Structure 1
Amino acid sequence: MQNTFIPLNIRRFQQRAQVETPDTVYWDRLAKPELLKEHNTIDYLDFSPSDPDNFVVTCSVRVQIYNLVTKLVVKNLSRFQKTAYGATFRQDGRLLAAGDEEGHVKLFDTTSRNILRLFKGHTAPVHRTFFTADKLQLASFGDDRSVRLWDVANEKVVQTYEDTHTDYIRAGAMHPQAGHMFVSGGYDGKINLYDTRAEKAVQHTLDHGAPVESMLFLPNGSIFVSAGGSQVRVWDLISGCRLLTMMSQHHKTVTCLRLGSDGKRLLSGGLDRHVKIYDVSTYKTVHTLTYPNAVVSMAVAGKDQAVVAGMVDGLVSIRRMIVDSKPSHLKKIRAERTRGHFKDLTRPTPHQEVDHTIKDRVNWSGLKTYDKQLRAFNHKRALDNAMNTQRMANHPEVLVAVITDLLHRKSLDKALTDRRDATLVRFIDFICKHVSETRFMRPLMMAASTVLEVFERRLVAYSPKLMRALERLSSAMQEEVRLTTELMRLKGAMDMLIGVSMDNGEVAHKPTYVETKTPRMQPSQAAEKYVVFVE
């Protein structure tokens, strides 16, 4: 008798694969983040040009230089009475400048931790300091709405640009080649271009449209970028500071900008917990990095060795680039061996005589353990195998596929009956964790309903641990009901807007909505049933 058992189809629950591009392959080589914890918001991050393994972290009253490999503090520059801001290295990595809340700018020797210069003149906090391209001068941008240019050698102010902005100046950038040109961005939404050689202080004034948080020049110096609000704007310096393009990939404030891949990629971090990576030739998003909290500062090591992000809660995330040490020819040999291993051995050679050929031979030894248990109708063992801790964490679609098959067999209730509380708690927690995912929602709603039916038949008292798990399930179901209600309200509002626009002749074709009728339980029904049961 022919056996018609078909293994579980896991692919139907797997997420759709993203289109693989060279950029996704490249940036996916960033390792899992290693975290450092500071006591306050990470104001600024910068990598040392001379020693790419060292980066400086500006946080609260401390400026600390960390080693990228050991994650230990190499130098602690704690010469601040009040909050320090924007510590940045000079192009040769030998000097480091930082502003503070008192309006001072301090210049440090990175080899000895000594204060070499103390620049006084600002009457409000100085948030950003940058060295000019010739390394001889230092620009500071303050909350007193002034920009000052300092001579590093004699500790004197060279030029002062006052009242060029009507609000705090929190962003600036120096031209990478011409030491006499730089830009400033203020919270008044204005961008000013300066040329120290000209009699007129400000050469151009541009409108970003939102408070400017960060600015930078591209390596050739002909284009500069500004970030503020939820937009990143690109300006062409050569054609009279014309707006080239505008990118609105963030849905919250963009706080920091950095260059990567030797200036071929632009990175922007924002309060939406994302870092967007753009191709500077097309200004299109090529990759996205996600972080656990709002990103307020960022730094990229040379040759993309690491991406370091500072967050609003004091976390510093370090993601180092993984170097592929396996030669490509070994991969090719391994692939050829794999292809040779799966050759069709049932096909006869030209000199071999056979009576008949067995087609579609099923290799039962290749079945997964849960498939073997399902084939033998051992439903509890199949569920136990799918509820492996590592498999539940890395491949939740396997357990959902087993649950779906047991629902079709009407055996899920039997597989959950006479179980220990720990097993039931793990099963309930899995439902609570994944019920909000669209791909899993329908089978997990049915599984929640089955859990209720199992508990309704039990006449024994439940343990406190199990009751807490049931309360978590109740909360998860109520949250799904609330979300469904909000989405239905939104759909109704959109339908009304579409109807009005159709009456005005603005829409040529009316969108059609197809409703699928199914006897299965809806999310709201399962949640209501559960709430009544718990109460």
Structure 2
Amino acid sequence: MAHISYPFKKTNKAVYKKPASVLTEDVIYWKKLGLPVLVKEFGAIDYIDFSPVEPYYFAATCSVRVQIYDPITKVVAKNISKFVEAAYGGTFRRDGRLLVAGSEESAVKLFDVQSKNVLRVFNGHTGPVHRTFFTRDQIKVLSFSDDKSVCLWDIATEEKIASFSEHTDYIRAGAPSPMTPDIILSGSYDHTVKLYDCRSNETTLTVNHGCPVESTLFLPSGGIFISAGGTDIKVWDIFNGGKLLANISQHHKTITTLTLASNNSRLMSASLDRHVKIYDLSTFKVVHNIDFPNAVLSMAISERDDVLAVGMIDGVISIRKRVQPASLLEDKKGLFKFAPDHVETVDVVVTKQKATKVAEFDKFLRKMEFTKALSVVLKSYVATKFPEKTIALIQEMLRRKVLHMAINGLSEKDIGLLLKFFRKNLGEARFTRIVIDAVNVFIDVFENKIKLFSEQNLCLYTSLKEDIREEIEVCKRVSELEGAIGLLFSGAQVSTSIGNLEMNDNLVPSSKAQKDIVIDV
């Protein structure tokens, strides 16, 4: 009679693995930014801004200078150091030719990027100026100061056009409207965000953020603005009187800066909790998270999301550049191509299939050497690093009803390892059911032999019994709590039902009828 060989099915370990993070298009897209290059500066990085024109240099404001970096070489291309005290908030004009920055000296300075010369100095503030921006028409400059005022300056005449002193604390955030040069947004440590109209010199809107405001920005439409402060990001609708549209709380420390990315479809926030989070603006949900080694103070991203620059509190700038697709790199490898664009062939290449690797415990399982298979997965390295392998084999042996045979043949050392594994994984939700079943088999096998255990194994067995007793007590308390919560929910539903009946005049014509209904319920 011919011998029939049946295929062996490997033990399924995947079902007990920890659930992996979902791989979305956003995760793939943002992971292509690549590994960071770290550059050290002399002070905390107060502000970062990218030039809107090629070659997309970025300005990092720190200490008493504004450093302009080349994102390709990651070195300083220009150094603007015309400050006596600390510089703040250096930003480019839309054409990339001018740069404006505030300072601890209470002055606002305008620079020519090419020559690094000071073109204008706007004096009038009495406190440090932390944020500066160009207006929509590019011929005026905005400044936000610790003297609790917002000023609008004319570049040509170097004169103050408008000033607003509505806040009662430092102003550390602001933004110009993307639609008109006459609308200004400011955020203050007095917890409020204010909207000004320069045509009438009036405050047109005030909203309360609830925390000191660290950053503000407009969405491209100009009708919605976003404020960040504390651990909250809030979205406000201007045309509905400052209606709160969304409140996002994903950070656990102060949010320091906001910026838009991906053609204004994504919002990025940086925080002192060392995270940069990316949100989908259509749902306000986090689509990706990037970790950094220290608290983040500033952040900016270039056109087409090619370069992300992040400034930290310890003076380190992290520069991440997007990895180019392989197809683009291949096109640049040589000057000439000798191979034709298309080669016709009738040959079929058959690749050699790799032999499937079988785990060591599966080899023993196939030979029906159950004790040896169990000993392999009880080794410290496997049981600690890959507990799903151990639990998968135990589950397979339970299914085959051979676990008692495997346990019965274990050495004293392996019995100790098995008891340690039971203790460690008893409370693991993925494994609890199988561990309980395996412990029952263990007790059935050694019920009359427990006194023969070594002192160490006897101690482990006693500890396991205590752990099981504690788990039972926890389960009882959880069941009691679940029952109490269910009772509260039931009561709430009854109350709601009664309330709905009382409000319906058609169903309840009189107060007497209401009482009857309540009694029936």
Taking structure 1 as the reference length, the TM-score comes to 0.65
Residue number among 186, 198, 208 corresponding to 1:184 in the alignment: 186
> What does the per-residue CA deviation read over 1:236-266, in whole Å, with 9 as the maximum and x for residues that have no partner?
2233333222222223222111011111111
Residue 167 in structure 1 maps to residue 169 in structure 2: yes
CA distance change for structure 1 residues 399 and 373 in 2, over 3 Å: closer, same or farther? farther
Instruction: Give the match for residue 35 of structure 2.
Output: 32
Q: How does 1:379-528 map to 2 (within 5 A)?
A: 502=488, 505=491
Letter in 2 for 1:102: E
Q: How does 1:107-146 map to 2 (within 5 A)?
A: 107-146=110-149
Letter in 1 for 2:180: A
Residue 365 in structure 1 maps to residue 355 in structure 2: yes
Contact 1:306 1:319 in 2 (8 A): yes
Instruction: Give the match for residue 52 of structure 2.
Output: 49
Instruction: Give the match for residue 247 of structure 1.
Output: 248
Decide which moves more: 497-506 or 278-287: 497-506
Residue number among 61, 69, 72 corresponding to 1:69 in the alignment: 72
The separation in 2 between residues aligned to 1:37 and 1:368, in whole angstroms, is 50
CA distance change for structure 1 residues 500 and 133 in 2, over 3 Å: closer, same or farther? same
Alpha-carbon offset, residue 310 of structure 1: 1.8
Residue 312 in structure 1 maps to residue 313 in structure 2: yes
Residue number among 83, 100, 105 corresponding to 1:102 in the alignment: 105
Letter in 2 for 1:64: Q
Letter in 2 for 1:100: S
Letter in 2 for 1:253: T
> What does the per-residue CA deviation read over 1:139-166, in whole Å, with 9 as the maximum and x for residues that have no partner?
110001011111112222222222x100
* Percent identity of equivalent pairs: 44
Alpha-carbon offset, residue 220 of structure 1: 2.2
Larger Rg belongs to: 2
SS of the aligned residue for 2:175 comes to strand
Instruction: Give the match for residue 288 of structure 2.
Output: 287
Residue 269 in structure 1 maps to residue 259 in structure 2: no
Alpha-carbon offset, residue 24 of structure 1: 2.8
Instruction: Give the match for residue 204 of structure 1.
Output: 205
Give the total of aligned pairs.
417
The separation in 2 between residues aligned to 1:231 and 1:91, in whole angstroms, is 30
Letter in 2 for 1:262: N
> What does the per-residue CA deviation read over 1:24-49, in whole Å, with 9 as the maximum and x for residues that have no partner?
33223221222222343221111111
Contact 2:391 2:431 in 1 (8 A): no
Letter in 1 for 2:63: S
Contact 2:294 2:313 in 1 (8 A): yes
Residue number among 70, 78, 81 corresponding to 1:78 in the alignment: 81
CA distance change for structure 1 residues 16 and 106 in 2, over 3 Å: closer, same or farther? same
Letter in 1 for 2:274: R
For structure 1, the 5+ residue unaligned runs are 328-339, 344-362, 416-435, 444-455, 458-480, 509-535
Contact 2:272 2:296 in 1 (8 A): yes
Letter in 2 for 1:136: I
Residue 299 in structure 1 maps to residue 300 in structure 2: yes
Alpha-carbon offset, residue 21 of structure 1: 3.4
Alpha-carbon offset, residue 137 of structure 1: 0.8
Instruction: Give the match for residue 512 of structure 2.
Output: none
Taking structure 2 as the reference length, the TM-score comes to 0.67
For structure 2, the 5+ residue unaligned runs are 329-348, 395-402, 415-426, 435-455, 458-466, 495-521
> What does the per-residue CA deviation read over 1:470-525, in whole Å, with 9 as the maximum and x for residues that have no partner?
xxxxxxxxxxx9xx9xxx9xx99x959967994995599xxxxxxxxxxxxxxxxx
The separation in 2 between residues aligned to 1:497 and 1:85, in whole angstroms, is 58
SS of the aligned residue for 2:308 comes to strand
The separation in 2 between residues aligned to 1:386 and 1:118, in whole angstroms, is 70
Letter in 2 for 1:183: L
Instruction: Give the match for residue 195 of structure 1.
Output: 197
CA distance change for structure 1 residues 65 and 412 in 2, over 3 Å: closer, same or farther? farther
> What does the per-residue CA deviation read over 1:266-303, in whole Å, with 9 as the maximum and x for residues that have no partner?
11122222222222233333322232332221101101
The separation in 2 between residues aligned to 1:267 and 1:247, in whole angstroms, is 12
CA distance change for structure 1 residues 499 and 224 in 2, over 3 Å: closer, same or farther? closer
Alpha-carbon offset, residue 51 of structure 1: 2.6
The separation in 1 between residues aligned to 2:66 and 2:90, in whole angstroms, is 7
Contact 1:403 1:412 in 2 (8 A): no
Contact 1:274 1:290 in 2 (8 A): yes
